[in-house]
Amino acid sequence: MGTHSNKRATSGSKNPNRARRGVFGAILYWAPVWLAGMLSTQIVLAGLKPGLAESTRLDRVEQELAEREQRLETERELQERNRRMLEDPIYRERVRKSVRIAGQAPLQLQHDLPSER
C-alpha cells in the first residue's frame, strides 16, 4: 500500500506539466487557424470597412462634381454665346442705336440670360 501511494504522489506532480504541455501543444496545433482568423479580422476591420466607406464618399463627391461640371459647362456656353454676340458688329450697332433712341430701353445682355439665375 505504501508504494501505491507513492505512485499517486509522483503522478500527481507530473500532471501539471503534462497539462501545460497539452495546452501549449493545443495552442501550437491551432496557431495557423487562429493566425488566419486574426489576419482576416484585421483585414476586415482595418481595410475593408474603411475602404467601403471611402468608396461611398467618393461616389457622392463624384456625383457632386458631375453636377458642378454640368453647371459650369452651361455657364461657359452662355458666356461664349455672349462673347460672340458682343463681337458681332450688327449687334453692337443695334445696341448703339437703341441707346440713342429716346424712350426705348437700351438692349442688354440680361435679356438673353436664362431666367433661372
pLDDT per residue over 7-66, tens digit each? 554 444 556 777 777 888 888 898 999 899 999 988 888 888 888 999 999 999 999 999
pTM to 2 decimals? Answer: 0.47
Q: 108 pLDDT band (50/70/90 cuts)?
A: low
- Give the model's pLDDT for residue 102: 63
Write out the chain in H/E/C secondary structure: CHHHHHHHHHHHHHHHHHHHHHHHHHHHHHHHHHHHHHHHHHHHHHHHHHHHHHHHHHHHHHHHHHHHHHHHHHHHHHHHHHHHHHHCHHHHHHHHHHHHCCCCCCCCHHHHCCCCC
Establish if 43 belongs to a structural domain: yes
Establish if 60 belongs to a structural domain: yes
Establish if 117 belongs to a structural domain: no
Our count of domains for the chain comes to: 1
Domain span at residue 76 reads 2-112
List pLDDT tens digits, range 62-104: 999 999 999 999 999 999 998 998 899 998 888 888 777 766 6
